[in-house]
Each structure stands twice: as structure tokens, then as C-alpha cells.
Amino acid sequence: MSMISHLFSIRATTCLTRNILRATPIRLLSSASSSPNKTTNANDHILPKELPSSEKRKAKFNISWKTVSVTFIGAASLIAFIYYLDQRKMQKRKVLQRAAVGKMAIGGPFSLITHERKPVTDKDFRGQWLLIYFGFTHCPDICPEELEKLSEITDLLRRDKSTQKNPFQPVFVSVDPERDTPELVSTYIKDYSPHFIGLTGTREQVAEMCKHYRVYFSQGPKVGDDYIVDHAIIMYLINPNGEFVDYYGRNKNAKEVAYAIEQHMNAFKESNK
């Protein structure tokens, strides 16, 4: 009897052990499957959430008016600078073209006397910029106006330090040599500027220079001892090499002429570097 009871006890223990072993993996799997969810939930509070698609579009195209304005101003400034450089090149090209054409048509050698009675030729003025005006001391209105303008041009150009290498020299040439002696020319030009040089000479010498510079002049009818000389009203610009560069009529004021001469001076400096 006790033997039979012992066998039943062993069998019951075996069944209980088997049931415990079967139940243990299920619990382990259940706990393993539940722990990642807890970790993920915990990390949800640490990692940043992803932006919605509408917010992404706003961030992608978020360009302020300040950025647009700065970009526009920068582009406009660049275009303006390029345009300025192009215009400057065109201006220099025109200056050089006019100078090349003028060299063959106007200018040439001359031999005259200064207002200080010193004989001079065109070679004595090499190394200087000359602005030559042809007139006469008895001119009632036009010559005084043009000489006032020549004086203003001289003052404007002498202020510019860049012209010191090749100084600027204004020159007055009389087309009335019969009356315009060196003494009279000296008194006349001093009323306008101390920087003027006056030139006169014999009628043949004056006529020769006027021929080279294509300057028309003609003595009008006399009224007693007085008469008017009809002449061209033009200023001629000569470079330091003694070559004709440009001319200016009454339609140009002093500032316009001074600016044009400065452009020629700069072009000459660039071409002789």
C-alpha cells in the first residue's frame, strides 16, 4: 500500500514540474515583448518629434524681405559697376579715335614771339598740355568771354594734382599782328590770368600758324584807324607730344571743357605707361 502511494506521489511531482517548465517560457516571452515598448515610450520624451509636412514647407521657403532686398541691391550694384566700366572703355576709345583722326588734319610747326618778347617755336612747348585760343586785343565782346572761360578752365585743371607731370598751359595767339605788339598782348592777358602766355609775330608768321590749325581770320573794313577782325572762335587742345587732340567751341562751358581735357589727359597717361 505504501509502495502504491509512493508511486502516485512521484507521478504527481513529475506532472507539476512539467507544467511549471511549460509556463516559464511564456512569461519570459511576455516580459521581453513588453519591455521594448516601455523603452520606446521613455525615449519619446527625449528625442525631438518630426515636424509636420506643412511646417517643413514653411521652413524650406522661409525667405525674409531683408534677404530679398540685400540680394537685389547687390545685383543692381554689380550691374551698375559693369555698365560704368563699359562706358569708360567706350569713352577712352572715342578719345583715342578722335585724336588719331585729328593728328592728320590740324596742327603743325610755328615760330612766334611771346608777350615777353622771347622767340618760341612749337618745340618749346613739348611736355605740356596746350589749350590755344586765337583772338585779338581789340575784340569788343567774344574774345573777352572766351578768355574768361579759358581762365576758369585753367583754374579747374591746375587744382588737379594728376596734371602736374605734364602741366597745363593756356595760350593766346593774336590774329591782329599789326596792332597787337608784345607789350599790348602782355597787358591784355594779365587782366584774365597770370598763367596765360601770349603769342604774336609778323603777319606771315601768324598766317602760317593759322594755316596749320585751320583757323580762319580776315580783317574787316576800317573806320578811321579802327577795324574788326573776323576769326574762328575755337580752342585747340595739344598734347605733350605736340599733337592735336581736340577742339572746343562756344557751345561748351568751362566745366565741360575741363572735364573733357581731363579725360584726354587720363587716356594719354594710360597709353604712355
- Rounded distance between C-alpha atoms, residue 148 and residue 58, angstroms: 70
- Rounded distance between C-alpha atoms, residue 105 and residue 212, angstroms: 8
How many residues in the chain?
273
Instruction: Enumerate the known binding-site residues.
Output: 139, 143, 231
Alpha carbon of 75 to those of 70, 71, 79, 174, 226: distances in Å?
A: 9, 6, 6, 56, 67
Instruction: Enumerate the known binding-site residues for Cu cation.
Output: 139, 143, 231
Which residue intervals of the chain are DSSP H helices? Answer: 2-44, 53-60, 65-105, 142-158, 182-190, 203-212, 254-271
Alpha carbon of 131 to those of 172, 250, 258: distances in Å?
A: 9, 14, 10
Residue 111's nearest CA partner among 196, 195, 173, 187 is 173
Helix (H, G, I), strand (E, B) or coil at 111: strand
